[in-house]
Amino acid sequence: MSYYTFYIGDVTLTVGWQDLLGLVLLALVTKALLLLRRARAHGPASPILPARTSIAAAPEKEPKALRYGSGKAEGGAWNATGPGYLPDLDPLHDFDLSTATLRDYVYVNKVLRYPYFQVCPTPYVADCLLRQDLWGVRSIDTFCRMVTMAHQPLHINDWIEIDKEYQWYLDEKARVIKEQGKVVVDSLPENDAACTELLETLVDYLPKRYPTLFDAIPAAKPSAVPYGIHNKVTGETFTNISALKGVDALMVVTRLVKDDFLMGRERADGRVYLVGGVIVFPGSYLLSEKIGQPLHELHANVPHFHKMLPSVERTMVRFAPDRPFERCSWWVADDRELFWHNIISHEVREDVHPKDLFLRFDHQTFRKLPRTRGIMFGVHPVLKRMEDLADNPLVPALLAKIHTGSDETLMKYKSVAKYQHKLVPYLQELTEQQIAKGLIKREDIENIVNFREHPNAGDAWKGSAALSNQRVKA
């Protein structure tokens, strides 16, 4: 047997041909694994494994029905009583529609943040570098600047929010539906049963949460879904709701809540598809153009979404009916046109003062229907005038920083160039006013990412976070 001797400094290494062959094979296997990893990183997402949650039943059995359970801790904290349960709703017995307000989405969700990407803390940078060096197929940016959904658990109290503009939203929704029809309300046949379950879920929820606004019409069986619902605000009554399917069910939904609903379903290929919904206030896209598309096509023009796609698809498929969550997104609009805001199609009018621009928040909720396994993606648009940010410490400075220092692709997607020349100087002016009034100090701007913890943000931030509990105690 032949041996080969290698000298490395003071070290002498003697190996045989079998050792060399083993090293060659190891190198080939490693190379093959790297090529496979590269293909999976840059190619389409692989099919998603079937959902495995604590509520899912065997294929031949119907999933456990979702129920509200007792045992919720004082103060409204999340405390489900077991798989398949949600905590009891807190009924708002003294709810006054004329003065009702929403949570402040500037503070409640992580929608306003800088930088947009989530950066690894320093101790993890070395780990990021190590992964890059080992695999050689993804840049450090992929690991150290993670693009996430920025979502958080949703307390069931906050699923449907109603405020003093409730009637205006319903009237505006009816107007758009009359003009646009199938463009904004549609459903594929595979989604018919899920539309029924969505309506049943709302009819069960609304009278419990808002007894001053809605009356449930009991069914013959006490444990069954209510037979119908009476809307005290509009004077409308809807009965035999369990017999309504598809678009018929969705049309009743439009007369009950301000929210739009996109409805998704996992198909045999493991991907989630948009199979219907009522999308009256999309702002920048049309249901008629998106229905039937999978997630990766729906979000094809969303910056960096390809980085999130595998994670988002896993989340959509696997999250359980008893684990809803929420997130929020933002845009800038120059009018109250919720169906299609002007900035998407045109330039901002020169006569528009930046104080009259709107910061549009889309509050997004995600729930899984237990019976049909349909995915409910609720969207509630909320408009906030820029001038109303004047007393929010550091928020104008943060918004200016987001517009001038964020990812260029993201800013282009949000059509920032059309209004930035007007808005940024105004936000800087508001910041100087906050300094002059003593609301903030100039050095506070260096810690802008922690605007929620600013001492003078207490009332807005803490009050918004505890809004549900305050309403209950009112």
> Hey, which residues does 13 pair with through a beta bridge?
6
**What span, in angstroms and rounded, lies between the C-alpha atoms of 449 and 13?**
56
**Residue 310, preceding bond cis, omega within 30 degrees?**
no
Cβ 41 vs Cβ 137: under 8 Å: yes
SS (H, E, C) the chain: CCEEEEEECCEEEEEEHHHHHHHHHHHHHHHHHHHHHHHHHHCCCCCCCCCCCCCCCCCCCCCCCCEEECCCCCCCCCCCCCCCEEECCCCCCCCCCCCCCCCCHHHHCCCCCCCCCEECCHHHHHHHHHHHHHHCCCCHHHHHEECCCCCEECCHHHCCCCCCCHHHHHHHHHHHHHHHHHHCEEECHHHHHHHHHHHHHHHHHHHHHCCCCEEEECCCCCCCCCCEEEECCCCCEEECHHHCCHHHHHHHHCCCCCCEEEEEEECCCCCEEEEEEECCCCECCCHHHHCCCEHHHHCCCCCCHHHHHHHHHHHHHHCCCCCCEEEEEEEEECCCCCCECHHHCCCCCCCCCHHHCEEEEEEEEEEECCCCCCEEEEEEEEEEEHHHHCCCCCHHHHHHHHHHHCCHHHHHHCCHHHCHHHHHHHHHHHHHHHHHCCCCCHHHHHHHHHHHHCHHHHHHHHHHHCHHHHHHHC
State the CB neighbour count (10 A cutoff) for residue 57. 11
Amino acid letter, 124: Y
Residue with tokens 């107007």: 175
Closest residue by Cα to residue 278 from 198, 363, 185, 356 = 185
pTM: 0.74
Counted residue by residue, the chain has a size of 474
The side-by-side arrangement of strands in the sheet containing 214-217 is 214-217, 228-231, 237-239
Phi first, then psi: give them for residue 13, nearest 5 degrees: -120, 120
CA dihedral 120→415→449→464, nearest 10 degrees, is -120
> Residue 311's pLDDT is what?
74
Closest residue by Cα to residue 448 from 411, 390, 399 = 399
Give the β-pairing of 67-69 and 85-87: parallel
Cβ 283 vs Cβ 344: under 8 Å: yes
Cβ 354 vs Cβ 424: under 8 Å: no
> Residue 137's pLDDT is what?
37
Closest residue by Cα to residue 99 from 474, 360, 460 = 474
State the CB neighbour count (10 A cutoff) for residue 235. 7
Cβ 375 vs Cβ 265: under 8 Å: yes
> Residue 10's pLDDT is what?
65
Amino acid letter, 261: F
> Residue 409's pLDDT is what?
84
Cβ 204 vs Cβ 226: under 8 Å: yes
The pair of structure tokens assigned to 94 is 């003294």
Closest residue by Cα to residue 361 from 403, 332, 330, 326 = 330
Ranges of the chain whose pLDDT falls below 70:
1-4, 6-13, 15, 36-85, 116-150, 223, 303-304, 306, 309, 342-346, 458-474
Closest residue by Cα to residue 379 from 361, 399, 405, 359 = 361
